[in-house]
Structure formats: C-alpha cells, structure tokens
Amino acid sequence: MSDKIYFTPGPSGLYPTVASHIQSALLNDVCSLSHRSKKYESIHTSTVEAIRELLQIPSDFHIFFTGSATEIWDRVLENCVEENSFHLVNGSFSKRFYETAKELNKNPKKFEVAFGKGFNTSEITVPEAELLCMTHNETSSGVMMPLSDIYSIRNQKPDSLLVIDAVSSIPYPIFDFTLVDSVLFSVQKGFGLPAGLGVWVVNNKCIEKANLIATKGKSIGSYHSLPSLLSKSVSNQTPETPNVLGIYLLGKVAQDILNRGADKVRKETELKASLLYDYIEKSANFSAFVENPAHRSTTVVVANTILPSPQINPLLEKYNMSIGTGYGKTKDQQVRIANFPGHSVEQIEELISNLKKSIA
C-alpha cells in the first residue's frame, strides 16, 4: 500500500493488515483453491464465525455472500416480498433501495424526509407491508438512525420482516436480532477491504417467506435465491465460484478487529466521531450538515464547507491524506469523512490538525 490515508467513505482506505493478508493468501494459493474443497470450506467457516462473533449474530441466523450490497437489495426484495415493501427514505441510497423495489414491481411505499434529515418516529405510520426496509446509515448525507428509532418503528408491525441496510456503519452497530430479520452490508467501507463482496445476514423467517413465494410459482431468482444460498451454506460453500480472496480477507480483518477488542474499536469510533464533530462545529469553514445531533452519523461525518470541496484534497495532498466530497448534488458544498475501524485515533487527530492548518 502507499502511505496515503484515505478517509473517503467507500471504497475507503484499506485496513492496515490487508496487504499482509493478501501476501499470505498468495503464498497459500487461496486463489487457486476449488470452491468445493475442504480448504475452501475451512476459510468460509472461519469468516462466517468471525463475522458472527464480531456482529453478535445469533447462531440461528445465516450469513451469505454476494457480489455487492447493491445486489442484496435485489435479492431481499425478490425473496421476501410478494406484494409490497415499505421504505424509510432520507438520502440517495435509501431512495435507490426504494427505486429498486419499483423496478422489481414490488409496489413499494415510502416515508420520505429531506436529504440530511433524520426521522421523527412519532410522524411515521407504517402501512401493511411484507418487508420494512431501513437504512441505518445514509452514506450520502451522514444521517444515522438511532437503533431505538428503528425498533420503535418496526414494533408498529411486528409481523412484517425487517431488513437493515448497514453498508456504511458495520461493524460499529450491535443490532438486537430479536427485532431484526435481515442485515446487509459490503466490505469496502467499515472493513477497509477491496470492493466486490456483499454480506447478507438472514433468519429463518426470511427463508420461509422465500419458500412460500416459490410454492406459489413465482420466481425468487436462481443461484442467489435464499433456498439456493442456504443449500450450499450448510456445507460452508456458495452456489457459484465466489470471491474467495474477498471472503478470506474479510475473515482475517474481522479476526484482527476481534483481537484488538471489538468493544475498544467501537469506543474509539465514538471518540473519533466526537473529535471530528467538535472540530467541525468550531471551524470557520465547516459546519455540521445534519442539524439534529442525535441523527449525526458516527461512521460517515458530513459537513458543509465554504471552500468548495474539490479544492480541499489538493491542500491535503502534502500530508498524504484524502477525504470524500459531498454526494451527488451536494458534491462541491459538502465533505464526507469516513471514520472506520482502519482509521486510528492518531490519524483522525492528524487529519483535524492538517485541516486546521490548511483551511480553518
């Protein structure tokens, strides 16, 4: 790896141990293993076990691998929705999840608030829907839903399935899996890994729903349907030749985080977030984009900037650092700073110091 530190929200900087794990993968011929071999099954098992421990996922939940988190939007809608889904929308990614449901003819309903806003749970009446879709952390706007809000909304419809998109917050949150049926995420954000792998956590209610839809003669897809994923997962395999290197690296980095201490890493994440927000509030150039502090993301810090964002990275170049611009329409007027486990407290302090020196 170069020495440059990427605070971009995704793909982000590689977790510091990734390069050495890639070397060990090459030395051990991980990329030439048959995905039907015992050696592959052992890698698969190690990764699933490390993810289960790190995210505190109960043993009766399944952990499947896909090509991306974007793919899982398709798959969860195909497998868990026959007639209708319900979406909380407050940014570009939660909106895209909703639009995916439209493209799949799933008659989605939504409750939408403006870009950068969080949800006031008392304003939301959840309609009848087979699947409730909530985005824990809006990577586009830096809004994170408090877990208590997610649960209070889901409790309006205890019989619906709930899927949480946690793409840019995992591995920070610990979900209450008695209230959550499915979680999806990718690896190029919080895990600091090369992109090209999605992780899909589901319980048996989701599997049963998929089987029910299939028995009605409706398609739930093919190789990545829940029954197909499950049929291979029981042997610690995948239906297709998967991204074996990605699965290997995910297991190694998840184990590295466990070895550092998952609780310590989560506390550091909160500390680094508070350092960033403190700086932003005092800065003459930056101001927090998300007004309500309770809705501000711990893992993707978004700030308005007076100096147009494309002018900021050139100033950080001499410190060998890079941060993210705003998303979409707000590209120039905002910055996004990733705060993932691979970013140390010292690096965040240095970033703040460099921003102070360079801008204000």
| Residues making up the chain, counted from first to last | 360
Nearer to its own copies, 276 or 338 (CB): 338
In the bound state with its own copies, the residue whose beta carbon lies nearer, of 90 and 186, is 186
Stretch that binds its own copies, among 60-68, 84-92, 175-183, 346-354 (CB under 8 A): 60-68
The least distance separating its own copies from the CB of residue 226, rounded to whole angstroms, comes to: 13
Number of residues that bind its own copies (CB under 8 A): 59
Beta carbon of residue 73, minimum distance to its own copies (angstroms, whole number): 7
Of these, 41, 53, 104, 359, which contacts its own copies (CB under 8 A)? 104
Q: What mask of x and - would describe binding to its own copies in positions 289 to 328, judged by CB under 8 A?
A: -----------------------------------x----
Rounded to the nearest 5°, which phi and psi values hold at 288? -65, 130
Of 67-75, 122-130, 205-213, 346-354, the segment contacting its own copies by CB under 8 A is 67-75
Report phi then psi at 120, rounded to 5. Answer: -95, 110
| Region for 65 from its dihedrals, namely left if φ exceeds 0, alpha if ψ lies in -120 to 50, beta otherwise | beta
196 scored as a contact of its own copies (CB under 8 A) = yes
Q: Which of 221, 285, 354, 359 binds its own copies (CB under 8 A)?
A: 221
Residue 332 interacts with its own copies (CB under 8 A): yes or no = no
In order of 42, 176, 254, the CA distances from 46 in angstroms are 6, 23, 10
Site membership for its own copies, residue 10 (CB under 8 A): yes
Q: Does 19 bind its own copies (CB under 8 A)?
A: yes
H helices of the chain, where? 18-27, 38-54, 69-80, 92-103, 147-154, 204-215, 226-233, 244-260, 262-282, 312-316, 345-358
Q: Report d(CA 101, CA 108) in Å as an integer.
A: 6
Secondary structure (3-state) at 269: helix
User: For residue 243, what are its two tokens?
Assistant: 């991204």
- Residue choice 92, 94, 188, 298 for contact with its own copies (CB under 8 A): 188
Q: Out of 67, 146, 237, 266, which residue is the one contacting its own copies (CB under 8 A)? A: 67
- Using CB under 8 A, which of 68, 92, 269, 297 touches its own copies? 68
Residue span binding its own copies (CB under 8 A) among the ranges 30-38, 125-133, 145-153, 304-312: 30-38
| Measured distance CA(76)–CA(66) in Å, rounded | 12
Sheet strand arrangement including 109-112: 62-66, 198-202, 182-186, 161-165, 131-135, 85-89, 109-112
Select the span of 47-55, 87-95, 98-106, 253-261 touching its own copies (CB under 8 A).
98-106
Helices (H) and strands (E) in the chain, counts: 11, 14
Comparing CB distances to its own copies, the nearer of 207 and 262 is 207
Q: Which residue has the tokens 């870009």?
A: 115
73 binds its own copies per the rule CB under 8 A: yes
Q: How many CB atoms lie within 10 A of CB 45?
A: 12
Q: Is 209 in the site for its own copies (CB under 8 A)?
A: no
Which residues have CB under 8 Å from 250's CB, separation 6+? 47, 50, 51, 187, 191, 193, 197, 199
Question: Interface residues with its own copies (CB under 8 A)?
Answer: 1-2, 4, 6, 8, 10-14, 18-19, 22, 26-29, 31-35, 66-71, 73-74, 99-100, 103-105, 186, 188, 193-197, 217-219, 221-225, 239-246, 324
